[in-house]
Structure 1
Amino acid sequence: MILRLSKVYPTASHLHCPRLHALTPVPQGVRRRRAALVCKSSLKEELESDIKRTANDLERAVQTEDYKAASLLKQHLDQLELERLNSNPLLFLQTQLQNAVKEERYKDAASIKAQIQALERESQAAASSSTSTAKAVSTMSDTVTHGIRIRVRSFYQPGQSMPSRSYYFFGYHVQISNESDRVVQLRNRHWVIEDEEGRTEEVRGPGCVGKQPVLLPGNGFEYSSGCPLNCKTGYMSGEIQFAVLDETDGRFNNMVDALVSGFKLSAEVGG
């Protein structure tokens, strides 16, 4: 049995809305999240999930008239919305355009519209030129550790990249297979991302795309995510931690790390 999950992005790195009933101040929660998500890997998908959860929590807080929690949640939601805008140049410009039109700043609106059109043309041109070289810019890794096989395939996504702004987006698909004779549960992940200019970032967090599946012998789990870079080439590697079921007491006690061998992220022809 293979569990299949797919998402457009991230990073990254990763996100679980802080429980406000524990009275954790929102700004500190945001800082801890950023510390845990040093890299932007998988960020967009994780961010969208957190925004949705926070909006639902806010709605429930209002319905139950818990206005103190609602106030904190609203601040948290505003922070997440700002992060979403900053992570996507096109979305940021579209929002700026809407605000300019609403405020009747039509000269600004015309300038912003021209920027949007330029970015869209660039994205379309990049997507078109990459069609014949998609195979060349994809890379793979395949590693077995403790009977757990992890395959990864990376690929450049020109439609979500803005080369003129040094913004290159890469997707990657992960396949996990339990080839051992033991029952294991996925617990944590750790990614190391290095770009061609020597910058190194790390991502650590519970589960993958918010999931911690239990895998029986012969079972598998797969998901898709993504990672933005500021240059055309980079490398990823890491490990995924699993807990092993102890058949004597029925508990997941022993922890093992399944390695993810390095694979390349490349936006270059023949990369």
Structure 2
Amino acid sequence: MSNETDHTIEIDVKTEYLASESDPAGNRYVFAYTITIHNRGAQPARLLSRHWKITDADGAVQEVKGPGVVGEHPYLRPGEAFRYTSGTQLSTAVGSMQGSYQMVADDGTHFDAEIKPFVLAAPRTLH
């Protein structure tokens, strides 16, 4: 029998505005985000898929679903972490992302690892 502490995934996010790839006059704002996925639980687990909700300042929502992350399905033993960098494009200077990773532990338990909302913002757009 498993319990919640067997399946504890912690997710850290760092974001960066990519000015060289953005075109504010053309409503194109490009951001990179670096995700670190830590297995804080007692069970090894594999990331199967991802589900993102990306919202711009006008309220437009893009949903992204798919297998793995950056072409990989990382397997994390307790205490291990996996880091990757990806990106997204918005039509506004500010937006947010949130979502989840669908995971499976070695004990066969399927669970979601929540990615709490985080802000994407071009420099000097938020006070």
More helix by percentage: 1
- Structure 2: how far apart are the matches of 1:192 and 1:213? 21
Q: SS of the counterpart of 1:181?
A: coil
1:189 corresponds to which of 50, 63, 70 = 50
Unaligned runs of 5+ in 1: 1-145, 247-252
Is the CA contact 1:189–1:207 (under 8 Å) kept in the aligned structure 2?
yes
1:201 aligns with 2:62: yes
Q: Spell out the pairing of 1:122-141 with structure 2 (5 A cutoff).
A: none
Q: Which whole-Å deviations, capped at 9, do the CAs of 1:86-140 have from their partners, x for residues lacking one?
A: xxxxxxxxxxxxxxxxxxxxxxxxxxxxxxxxxxxxxxxxxxxxxxxxxxxxxxx
Q: Which whole-Å deviations, capped at 9, do the CAs of 1:223-257 have from their partners, x for residues lacking one?
A: 000100111111100001110112xxxxxx22110
1:265 corresponds to which of 98, 120, 123 = 120
Matched to 2:12, the amino acid is R
Q: Which residue of structure 2 aligns with residue 245 of structure 1?
A: 106
Matched to 1:255, the amino acid is H
Offset at residue 259 of structure 1 (A): 0.3
- Structure 2: how far apart are the matches of 1:231 and 1:176? 28
Q: SS of the counterpart of 2:106?
A: strand
Is the CA contact 1:233–1:268 (under 8 Å) kept in the aligned structure 2?
no
More strand by percentage: 2
Offset at residue 164 of structure 1 (A): 1.3
Q: Which residue of structure 2 aligns with residue 221 of structure 1?
A: 82
Unaligned runs of 5+ in 2: 1-6
Identity of aligned residues (%): 38
In the alignment of these two chains, the number of paired residues is 120
Is the CA contact 1:243–1:254 (under 8 Å) kept in the aligned structure 2?
yes
- Structure 1: how far apart are the matches of 2:84 and 2:18? 17
1:169 aligns with 2:33: no
Q: CA RMSD in A?
A: 1.0
Point out which structure has higher relative CO (alpha carbons under 8 A, 6+ apart).
2
Offset at residue 270 of structure 1 (A): 5.5
Q: SS of the counterpart of 1:159?
A: helix
